[in-house]
Amino acid sequence: MSFIETFQFILPEVILLVFALAILVCSLLMRSKGLLGALALTAVVLASLFLPRVNTTHASLFFNMLTDDAFSTFFKVICLFITGVIILISMGYKTLQSGHIGEYYFLLLSATIAMLLAVSSNNLIMIYISLEMLSLASYILVGFFKHDDLSSEGALKYFIFGALSTGIMLYGISLIYGVFGTMDLSAIANTLKTAPTNALISSVLLLFILAGLSFKCALVPFHMWAPDAYQGAPTSISAFISVGPKAVGFAVLLRIFTRNFLPLYADCVTIIMLVSVFTMTIGNIIAISQTNIKRMLAYSSIAQAGYILIGFVVGTASGTEGALYYIFAYTLMNLGAFGCIVLISNSIRSDNIEDYAGLSKKDPVSAFMLAVFLLSLAGIPPLAGFFGKFMVFAAAIGSKFIFLAVAGALNSVIAVYYYVKVIKYMYLDEPKATEMKKNPAPLQIALIIIMIGVLIAGIYPSPFLNWIRLSQVFFLQ
Amino acid sequence: MSFPILTCIVFAPLAGSMLILFTPKKNVNLIKVIATLATAAALCLSVLLLIKFNYSSPAMQFEEKAAWIPSINAWYHLGADGISVGLIFLTTLLSFLACIGSSGIKIRQKEYFFLYLLLSTGMLGTFTGLDMVLFYMFWEIVLVPMYFLIGIWGGQRKEYAAIKFFIYTLAGSVFMLLGILALYFTSTPHTFDILELTKTGGALTLSVQILIFIAFYLGFAVKVPVFPFHTWLPDAHVEAPTPISVLLAGVLLKMGGYGFFRISFPILKDAAHYFILPFAILGMINIIYGALVAMAQTDFKKMVAYSSVSHMGFVMLGLASMTATGFNGALLEMFNHGIITAGMFFLVGVLYDRAHTRELDKFGGLGVKMPVYAGMLSVFALASLGLPGLSGFISEFMSLLGTYPTFKLITIISSLGLIITAGYFLYMLQRILLGPVNEKWSAISDINKRELLTLIPLLIIVVIIGIYPLSALKYQIAAISALVQNLGGIAF
């Protein structure tokens, strides 16, 4: 394949880049939030049309810096879906004013390019660069309300934690280079197949990498930034960082550990298992006492990452399948929940859970959708979240990780309390008098479609499972 | 392909709830008509099911099977046999009657009937689902509507009662989910099919069986409820509105017992034998403890709620017997208790609607003011305390009779529960109906026609089963003897 031909595989990235730059230029000429949003949305739709087909072969691109396989396509679909919904949420988010909106969409599209590159990177330095690019765009987006103290505080914390953890990761990469003499993942995997490595060295190496990615996925103990960043950021960006970087973090984790470093991976399974249990438990327990819904969802998404990690710890085909399904379901329901929060905050101008009292009477559609998304996050059948839990628990029990399955089960009971608390305010309590504004139709329709998706993925998950199975069948060869 | 009768029964209420979703909120009458028709359709179909049911066969009948999630070998598999057919009928009957009895709901009717029908589908699915994943889904679907039905339309402490119900039941059922997964992975080929697992489950080693049995036990025992997991019950039953209390006591409690009959005992045979002594002891505790606590209550509804704890003890006791008589007693007790307690809760509701209090001590002499009500209350109270000639007696007697050969002392102590039960029910009748008329209630009106309409079908069933028990037993005998044979129990 000639160098020019390889560009067909990165057409989505190129389209996004062109549109991102175009948006920057356009924003000098016009300040309409709607038009710029529409332009960004067009970019995402076009990019998704040019996604590589799901295939069973894999192509190595740009001197094996990038790879194109079914696994990366799966995550590219998820990432583009996320950005599309986030743009719709941003367009319907009234607090987000037109000032600097061009930069906002530019950064969002840049972050998307970074995500697309990260999920297809096959080289440690490429992984590092794309993750840094994603992080830098996210830092600025979190601090986008520059006159709001909470927003700036969130961004600063996000930045400091991010800088520290990427530093650790970079150090880990340098050690890997020292041991293996290459940063190419396939080359490292080949070396590992033939020559056994010292268990201590390999654990240390992988833990450094894990530390860097734990920050992206907000795993304990690298989760401290999440609540402040989520609370301070514009809600559309909270939604974005709760799903986007997280999905990417897990994609990279799975690619490095499960695909390429499998022989090393056994050495740190216990540690990752503990990380999973602590992530679930700490996230869930702290979430109980939250009064701000964005902060509560921050802790909830920490806990959710713990469940995804179960599938990762198990490491078998069914474990990866469970993790992928969970990521898919989590993306749907968390985006949905944040979308509803944006709709609701447009009218009630508050993110306090107490102000949601009686919402079912004032805005029945949003309340109902939020209730469905929260119940799905809680893992109540027949919703997508339930089936995600089902898959990861099944993988854990199938591989005799009974402790992990029991911890996950107990945690999902704790979690129900705080999810249902929001529903209690919406449905059981009497409303305060607030004027409800008309909901922006595109966002509302998008949310209804996501809600139906959550229902279908829970009742009839077969098509999604087949898709996921296809995405990882090659991956485990 | 034959007519998919079970699918129609299960999803008739769901279809109704979808219709209600698109009905204008203001049109309350139309909503009520839709709900009544949907539950009536399910009831008619289940009567048809009873008629067409071949009760001489222990096999699963009316089976429907379709691929659902092929990659994990989960099927959409429904069926009814002697164990479930009575409970399906009970569920549709009570759903229909409680729907008629829901006219007391004055606020947010659209949401109420939507959730009510959803609940109905969940309960019916639990009793018909023969695939573990399907069973579990229906089992959990019950939780959410129930949370709202208690939480929105309940009494003073409704929010507390609703979340307590939700968390207790969920805590039990997540362990059941782990048990389901464990069964899946220990079977070869991996399957969620309850009938397949019934054939292969016995091959597991005892220690594995015990672990899985405990996981399922946690799920079922919370629902039954078995001491000490019963504390959600008085809260939920007391705070729920009348029709929902009827379904809680009449149907939801049976889901636990059904789980033992359908899953724990037939699949995990060795573990079931291993655990019969704890079952007998827990049954005895339920009977005695429930009855004693019921006696101490001053709240009418709470008393009936605790009487449920006591009666469900007979189910546990019958299960511990490992005899056909005991099993028949336990299964029939579930049906009978469903009918009688539903009647009791309706009667509590009738009184509460008029007096707006349930304090037993505040009544007195109502027998003069409400003669028809007094008659009804007396019959249902007598049925509940196990008067021969009414249905409650038959099943409790069979439970005790079946258990006696194995656990003599426990059976003797348990039968004392009947005396305590008689004590508190008669004491209740005395405080409400007899004595000098409390002037406060001089204007109270007697039970009306609509309320009678909900009670009379129940009354007829109570009398028929009481006089001619075979009318109900015939449906279950074949299935129970097959189960006992499968378990290696005593066929007496």
Q: What is the pLDDT of residues A218-270, one digit of tens each?
A: 898 888 899 999 999 999 999 999 999 999 999 998 888 877 776 666 777 88
Residue B134, SS3 per DSSP: helix
Q: Which residue of B has its CA nearest to A371?
A: B144
Describe chain B by its helix, strand, coil percentages, rounded to 5.
75, 5, 20
Res. A314 pLDDT band, cuts 50 70 90:
confident
The whole-angstrom separation of Cα B117 and Cα B125 is: 12
Residue B64, SS3 per DSSP: strand
List, in sequence order, every beta strand (DSSP E) within B444-490.
none
Describe chain A by its helix, strand, coil percentages, rounded to 5.
80, 0, 20
Average pLDDT over residues B455-468: 92
The mean-pLDDT minimum among A48-62, B109-123, B155-169, B224-238 falls in: A48-62
Q: In chain B, what residues touch A381 (CB-CB under 8 Å)?
A: 136-137, 140-141
Q: Which residues contact B436 (CB under 8 A, 6 or more apart)?
A: B364, B365
The whole-model pTM stands at: 0.93
Residue B1 has pLDDT above 60, yes or no: no
Residue B112 has pLDDT above 60, yes or no: yes
Q: Which amino acid is at A244?
A: G
Average pLDDT over residues A9-31: 89
- CA dihedral (A234, A236, A237, A243) in degrees, to 10, reads 150
Q: What is the pLDDT of residues A335-380, one digit of tens each?
A: 999 999 999 988 888 888 888 888 888 888 899 999 999 999 999 9
Residue A1 has pLDDT above 70, yes or no: no
Q: What is the model's pLDDT at position A351?
A: 87
Inter-chain contact B144–A375, Cβ cutoff 8 Å?
yes
Is A470 near chain B, with CB under 8 Å?
Answer: no
The closest alpha carbon to A253, from A75, A377, A412, belongs to A75
Measuring CA to CA, how many Å separate A156 from each of A111, A139, A161, A238? 18, 8, 9, 15
Average pLDDT over residues A262-284: 85
Q: What is the pLDDT of residues B172-218, one digit of tens each?
A: 999 999 999 999 998 888 889 998 888 887 788 899 999 999 999 99
Angle between helices B109-128 and B82-100 (to 10 degrees): 170
User: Is the CB of residue B274 less than 8 Å from the CB of residue B335?
Assistant: no
Inter-chain contact A397–B182, Cβ cutoff 8 Å?
yes
Residue B2, SS3 per DSSP: coil
Residue A473 has pLDDT above 70, yes or no: no
Mean pLDDT of chain A: 88
Comparison of pLDDT for A31 and B399, the residue scoring more: B399
User: What tokens were used for A256?
Assistant: 């490095």
Q: Which amino acid is at B191?
A: T
Q: What percent of chain B has pLDDT over 90?
A: 58
Q: Sign of the CA dihedral A145, A146, A150, A152?
A: positive
CA A65 to chain CA mean position, Å: 23
Q: What is the model's pLDDT at position B125?
A: 94
> Which residue of A390, A392, A400, A429 is the best one to mutate when testing the B interface, meaning the one whose CB has the most B CBs within 10 A?
A390
Element (H, E) at B68: strand B61-69
User: What tokens were used for A128?
Assistant: 């590092």
Q: Given A410, A424, A469, which is nearest B159 (Cβ)? A: A424
Q: What is the model's pLDDT at position A477?
A: 52
Q: In chain B, what residues touch A416 (CB-CB under 8 Å)?
A: 166-167, 170
The whole-angstrom separation of Cα B123 and Cα B256 is: 11
User: Is the CB of residue A139 less than 8 Å from the CB of residue A151?
Assistant: no
Comparison of pLDDT for B86 and A439, the residue scoring more: B86
Q: What is the model's pLDDT at position A140?
A: 92
Q: In chain B, what residues touch A469 (CB-CB under 8 Å)?
A: 71
- Tell me the count of A-B CB pairs closer than 8 A: 77
Q: What is the pLDDT of residues B254-302, one digit of tens each?
A: 999 999 999 999 999 889 999 999 999 999 999 999 999 999 998 999 9
The closest alpha carbon to B320, from B407, B259, B229, belongs to B407
The closest alpha carbon to B471, from B339, B382, B358, B380, belongs to B339
Q: Which residue of A has its CA nearest to B136?
A: A381
Is A424 near chain B, with CB under 8 Å?
Answer: yes
The whole-angstrom separation of Cα A454 and Cα A422 is: 19
Mean pLDDT of chain B: 90
The whole-angstrom separation of Cα B264 and Cα B274 is: 12
Q: Which residues contact A188 (CB under 8 A, 6 or more apart)?
A: A176, A180, A182, A260, A261
The whole-angstrom separation of Cα A411 and Cα B316 is: 30
Q: What is the model's pLDDT at position A57?
A: 66
User: Is the CB of residue A130 less than 8 Å from the CB of residue A118?
Assistant: yes
User: How long is chain A?
Assistant: 477
Q: What is the model's pLDDT at position A474?
A: 61
DSSP β-ladder status, B61-69 and B74-80: antiparallel
Element (H, E) at A68: strand A66-68
Inter-chain contact B151–A466, Cβ cutoff 8 Å?
no
Q: What is the model's pLDDT at position B489?
A: 72
Q: Which residues contact A181 (CB under 8 A, 6 or more apart)?
A: none
Residue A207, SS3 per DSSP: helix
The whole-angstrom separation of Cα A137 and Cα A415 is: 31
Residue A112 has pLDDT above 90, yes or no: yes
Q: What is the model's pLDDT at position A387?
A: 92
Inter-chain contact A427–B69, Cβ cutoff 8 Å?
no
